[in-house]
Amino acid sequence: MNKTGIVLAAVMTVSLCAPFAASARTAAEAAEDAPAVGFWSTEPGVTERPVADGTAETYAEEDRVWQGLPTIAVTPGGRMWCAWQTGDTIEGSQGPNNYDVMYYSDDGGETWSDEYMIWDVPDDSIRLADPRLFYDQFGKLWLVLIRGGLKGTYAFEIKNPDCADPASELEMGEPVSWLKAPPAHRPTILSNGRWITPVEVDTDRQVTYICRPNNETGKYPWTTLQGEPAVTAYPDRKSYGEAQVIELTDGRLMMLSRLPKDCGGGMEISYSSDWGTNWTPYKADNGVPYITPSSKFHIQRLESGAILLITHATTADREQLAAYLSYDDGKTYPYMMMLDDTDIRGSWRDFGVSYPEAAAQQGENGEIYIVYDAGRYALKEIRMCIVTEEDIKAGKPVTDYCKMRMQIQKLGGYIDYVSAKEDYEQYITVQPGTEKADILEQLPQTVTLVAGDGSELSLTGTWECPEYAKNIEGRYTFKFSERVTGKAQDLYSLLNVYVTVAEKEPDPGQGGETEDPGGDPENPGGETQPPESGSKGGCGSSLAGAGGGITAALAASALTVIFMGKVSTKRKNMKR
């Protein structure tokens, strides 16, 4: 088979695939039995070979019809690894030739390797779903691969992720069987040392699996704790769960799960008080930011103790991807920062911006590394935002470390407009009572966009936000009436201006302590509720009034956080 031939080449030149070969068998036989095989794009003839028998698509980048669902990890040495899914004409069960790729960056994400690692299954009838990169508490970095059709989930230890030349020196451990069912996210490491993950099988009655890892023996047994599952509030509608668990400071576990966008705000929540054995029935309609447009979200504990939730700020569509911060265990989220509201519209929307994940490791200056996909089938972009808590609290980039909408990879061939010749503020704070006309006077009627290649696009129009309410505090998005069309994009939303109505400039500092650091099972969203039409959201959006850091933050709780420590964000001698 094609994939066996590729593996044979890799076995002879790299130690990567050696663990798949048994002493009494040939490498080809071992590859046929392997749950997945890895090889590099630099191997002779790899990018010219078809991904499966009888197909014209090859492993070359230019042959990719789509790509998305990324995952990211940052090593102690500062190297970034990012993997995602691609292959065939569509993802999911209708794309039997899906496979995974993995790239690396040694300069903080500014550039990424030309060479890439390819993971596939020798059996053409089995596809690979979205991968997971997972650092455990022992310092081991795992690449978790999900074989479609409930064919098993396997983990491979990346033994030397900081090696000088990954394409020739990277060493992978033997495949470790984890689960038959697919996990929706990387595992959550609990304070008792166990790992927990929900699975995507019976989403109407969602169970969690627990691993008691033994680093000394190298055993990683996964078992489901028989008890009361989390029963959905929408048993006739729910088809995806993509649930994720986070541990609260009072010892309870909180599990969030995806719903259809027209059901209960798109997200429901369950709690466990016994390490995931028994769960409360899922509760929907929890208010902003516990909403989605039927898409994946991401939640994790930061080094400060704050909870980071990345989700869409609207239930309308996969747009307005935002980061929220909570300092009271998810009861309230007083701070929000818009990560990506790129105007991905029309026939080439192709799922908008979606499927975020943040690296478990933060940078030496508190950087948070967030990856997601943008326009899976047209833009074909994997993007990254680097933000800090200070940026999220301010509701805009305020630190030198913040970098927005970095393109890890773009294959769609779209022109990127990256700056404007006119001088105007994109973030404006005004006092309550400020008339709309006073804001419009500050904005140009002609905006000249400049592309990365130096070409220009001049647009003349008006700034519009019909839902602006001068006496209601919150954040409003003024949009320019003329938009970028054709095979081009306004990468940094230069045609949007964000106006915050507040008594004073948002304070990125922390406030006082909260009396109740635990979330309320009956109201996990606290007082935060979905905005009424015409209130605090962006123009035509579903943004919460908490956006932009208007309300004072609550102090970080004292939960012991498990993480790999601070990492350097720069390396030298990037191999291209």
Mean pLDDT of 389-393: 98
Confidence check: pLDDT of 173 > 60:
yes
Phi, psi of 109 (to 5 degrees): 90, 5
* Distance of alpha carbon 451 from the chain centroid: 27
Model confidence at 65, in pLDDT bands (50, 70, 90)?
Answer: very high
Give the angle 154-159-161 at the CA atoms, nearest 5°. Answer: 105
Query: Shortest CA distance to 362 belongs to which of 405, 394, 392, 330?
Result: 392
When mean pLDDT is compared across 31-35, 356-360, 450-454, 547-551, the lowest value belongs to 547-551
Model confidence at 123, in pLDDT bands (50, 70, 90)?
Answer: very high
Confidence check: pLDDT of 200 > 50:
yes
Tokens of 403: 């970098």
Confidence check: pLDDT of 170 > 90:
yes
Mean pLDDT of 248-259: 98
Q: Which pLDDT score is estimated for 346?
A: 52
Query: Shortest CA distance to 182 belongs to which of 111, 127, 140?
Result: 127
**Residue 363 has what DSSP assignment?**
B
Q: Which pLDDT score is estimated for 33?
A: 74
User: What's the full length of the chain, in residues?
Assistant: 576
Phi, psi of 12 (to 5 degrees): -75, -20
Confidence check: pLDDT of 488 > 60:
yes
Q: Which pLDDT score is estimated for 351?
A: 80
Phi, psi of 62 (to 5 degrees): -70, -10
pLDDT in tens, 1-22: 445 444 433 333 333 333 333 3
Confidence check: pLDDT of 559 > 90:
no
pLDDT in tens, 424-438: 999 999 999 999 999
Find out whether 413 and 424 touch, Cβ atoms under 8 Å: no
Residue type (1 letter), 464: E
Say how far apart CA 31 and CA 39 lie, in whole Å.
12
Query: Shortest CA distance to 140 belongs to which of 69, 220, 198, 70?
Result: 220
Q: What's the whole-model pTM score?
A: 0.87
Model confidence at 32, in pLDDT bands (50, 70, 90)?
Answer: low
Mean pLDDT of 549-556: 27
Find out whether 270 and 198 touch, Cβ atoms under 8 Å: no
Confidence check: pLDDT of 55 > 70:
yes
Q: Which pLDDT score is estimated for 343?
A: 87
Say how far apart CA 102 and CA 40 lie, in whole Å.
9
Q: Which pLDDT score is estimated for 9?
A: 37
Find out whether 343 and 405 touch, Cβ atoms under 8 Å: no
Helix, strand, coil abundance in the chain, percent, nearest 5:
10, 30, 60
Q: Which pLDDT score is estimated for 508?
A: 57
Confidence check: pLDDT of 96 > 50:
yes
The dihedral through the CA atoms of 453, 454, 460, 461 has a sign that is: positive
Tokens of 358: 């943040």
Residue 551, CA atoms < 13 Å, CB-side half-sphere: 19
Model confidence at 564, in pLDDT bands (50, 70, 90)?
Answer: very low
* Per-chain mean pLDDT for the chain: 85
Model confidence at 31, in pLDDT bands (50, 70, 90)?
Answer: low
Residue 216 zone, left/alpha/beta (φ > 0; ψ -120 to 50; rest): alpha
Find out whether 240 and 222 touch, Cβ atoms under 8 Å: no
When mean pLDDT is compared across 29-33, 58-62, 201-205, 464-468, the lowest value belongs to 29-33
